[in-house]
Amino acid sequence: MVFHSLPFIFIFLPLGVLGSRFLIKAQLGETRVLFLLLLSLVFYSLSSWQTLPVLAGSIVLNFYASRLVSENSSLEARGRWLIAGLTLNLLVLSASKYAHFTLDNLNVLTGRHWYLPRFALPLGLSFFTLQQIMYLVDCYEGLALPVQFTRHALLIAFFPYVSAGPIVRANDFFRQLDRESPTRADVGLARFIVGLCKKVVLAELCGKLADPVFDSPLIPGLADGWIAALAFSLQLYFDFSGYSDMAVGIAEMLGLELPQNFDAPLRSATVIEFWTRWHITLSKFITTYLYTPMVKAMPPITFKKSMVFTVIAMSIAGLWHGPAWTFVLFGLAHGLAITANHVWRKQMRKRKLPLFFARMLTLGFVVAAFVMFRAHSVLDSGRIYGAMLGLRGGGGLSGPLSALSRPEMLICLSGLLVALAAAMVGPSTKSLFEGFRATRRWVIASVVLAVIALIFMNATATKGFIYRDF
């Protein structure tokens, strides 16, 4: 089950919202926690019932680990249990997600032919593993305390974010479970509709321009390469920010608030700024739970050392996205770009690029780096880069995109232009919903957007969310 399916929109979500808000008004807090947990487990089962035991096992093991980390009187013993808990989580993640990648590379290096049976990747494994790690560390540092099993399970399995985030701090989440009055459902519904349109309209139209080039063995030309690269960047942005908006909107309707995950990242003036606006909760996790511990572990802290750790942390973050060298190189490229930004700031303190030029330079880098993110292999990315550099010939559309009919091409290019305008100069979701009031204009706009989204959903088959695969 996905957020942009008709059964979810017209059956699952309304029943969940009505049940949750009734229990809030009836002041049945613990019953509401159990209701939301059962709702989340049903959602997960309908999405990936085969891997439900992995989620359940992770919840049970980390529930007991959090108590051992928090309640042990000896700091040394707490540290040992923390290391044991983190190791266990990372082993499960590595065995499920990176075993085949590791074995394939060993086979290449040794000339062997070791084989490991393929198995389904548990839905949301990367996200709920980070959630568990963050909770264990917070318990160790005294920033969070162990809670009842149902609350711990709901923190990890809460269906709006279990498959693709945003990543939530435990204390922020638990505090809201005791809320005595519901949040505003009109804000959540409006935000859900905006996210739905981002996904099923803008992301899907951009995907129709990106997929033929990235998935075809045909050699693209200059225009094909740049259109596909830009289209995928916008597809990924509106797909993932659309998911995040729907997740935040669903939680709002259920009476909970989730953190903002995007803030118009494609109009950033530097790559450093980009990572404060793109997948904000993951960026904070990388800084707090990966980069900072590495820096503190090797004093004294110097500029050069911090830059080395920046590159390492971003490379690991790239690998977190998937078991492929393309993701490693994607993270490495961003780590090097962030380092270059810091060096520029350090050496050229009084020299700043014009804002428009800085934004275009950053956008160009981000679009080029996303080619590596989308490509099936490093060699495949080279094919796209070659086209973007004009090594495959210039001129108009050729190769993969030339197969699209003229009407389809015009519709998709129009969608690409609308998506680009929305990303670069349109109002951000954050600004749209700050001080939100359900005015007549907003009601009309929401109805129009909902109708447009339903038309697109009915006219063509939409794909699942991209980040659910990570």
What's the mean pLDDT in 371-398? 86
The pLDDT of residue 351: 76
Q: Which residues are the active-site residues?
A: 321
- Single out the residue in 159, 179, 199 at which a domain terminates: 179
* 318-337 average pLDDT score: 95
Is residue 194 domain-resident? Answer: yes
Contact 336, 308 (CB under 8 A): no
Tokens of 374: 């989308």
Beta-carbon neighbour count of residue 172 at 10 Å? 13
Together in a domain, 114 and 158: yes
Integer angstrom CA distances of residue 219 from 244, 378, 389, 402: 35, 15, 13, 12
Mean pLDDT of 278-293: 94
Contact 63, 135 (CB under 8 A): no
Rounded CA-CA distance 77/111 in Å is: 44
**190 and 159 inside one domain:** no
Specify whether 141 is located in the same domain as 211: no
Does 349 score more than 90 pLDDT?
Answer: no
pLDDT reading at 314 higher than 90: yes
Q: 417 and 329, same structural domain?
A: yes
Residues 102 and 223 both lie in one domain: no
Query: Are 420 and 273 in the same domain?
Result: yes
146 found inside a domain: yes
What pLDDT is stored for residue 395 in this prediction?
58
Residues 95 and 209 in one domain: no
pTM: 0.94
Range of the domain at 68: 28-179
State the CB neighbour count (10 A cutoff) for residue 359: 18
Pairwise CA distance, residues 365 & 274, whole Å: 11
Tell me: do 159 and 257 sit in the same domain. no
At a CB cut-off of 8 Å and minimum separation 6, what does 268 contact? 274, 276, 277, 278, 359, 362, 366
Mean pLDDT for 104-113 is 87
For residues 131 and 209, state if they share a domain. Answer: no
Judge residue 263's burial from the number of C-beta atoms within 10 Å of its C-beta, 0-12 exposed, 13-18 middle, 19 or more buried: middle
**Tens digit of each residue's pLDDT (9 = 90 or more) over 185-220:** 899 999 999 999 999 999 999 999 999 999 988 888
Separation CA 415–CA 426 (nearest Å): 14
Is a pLDDT exceeding 90 seen at residue 333?
yes
Q: Count of H helices and E strands in the chain?
A: 22, 0
Tell which residue, 219, 268, 285, has the closest CA to residue 423.
268
The two three-digit tokens of residue 290, written as one number: 């990966």
210 near 231, Cβ under 8 Å?
Answer: yes
For residue 17, being part of any structural domain is answered with no
Asked if the structure places residue 19 within a domain, the reply is: no
Residues 6+ away with beta carbon under 8 Å from 357:
none
Rounded average pLDDT over 381-403? 80
What tens digit of pLDDT does each residue of 121-162 get?
A: 889 999 999 999 999 999 999 898 889 999 999 999 999 999
Q: What radius of gyration, in Å, describes the C-alpha atoms of the chain?
A: 23
Is the domain of 149 the same as that of 218? no
Count of domains in the chain?
Answer: 2
Q: Which amino acid is at 350?
A: K
Q: What is d(CA 133, CA 307) in angstroms, rounded to the nearest whole number?
A: 24
Which of these, 362, 203, 210, lies nearest to 277 by C-alpha position?
362
In a domain, 335, yes or no: yes
Cβ atoms of 311 and 335 within 8 Å: the answer is yes
Dihedral over alpha carbons 291, 295, 297, 301 (to 10 degrees) = -170
Residue 408 lies in a domain: yes
Residues 206 and 111 in one domain: no
Do residues 379 and 329 make contact, with C-beta atoms less than 8 angstroms apart?
no
Q: What is the per-residue pLDDT for 396?
A: 61
Domain end point (choices 142, 164, 179)? 179
Indicate the range of 37-46, 97-106, 228-237, 332-341 predicted with least confidence. Answer: 97-106
**195: part of which helix (H) or strand (E)?**
helix 185-197
Q: pLDDT-based confidence at 394, cuts 50/70/90?
A: low
Q: Is 221 helix (H, G, I), strand (E, B) or coil?
A: coil
Q: What pLDDT, on a 0 to 100 scale, did the predictor assign at position 398?
A: 65
Residue 5 lies in a domain: no
What's the one-letter identity of residue 371?
Answer: V
Residue 219 CA, distance from chain mean position: 30
Q: Is residue 7 part of a domain?
A: no
Q: Give every CB contact of residue 307 below 8 A, 6+ residues apart in sequence.
A: 339, 342, 343
DSSP 108-168: HHH---------PPPTTHHHHHHHHHHHHHHHHTTSS----HHHHHHHHH-TTTTTT----
d(CA 133, CA 86): 6
Chain-centre distance for alpha carbon 262: 10
- Round the average pLDDT of the chain to a whole number and report it: 91
Last residue within a domain, chosen from 179, 209, 224: 179
- Shared domain for 150 and 196, answered yes or no, is no
- Is 326 within 8 Å of 377 (Cβ atoms)? yes
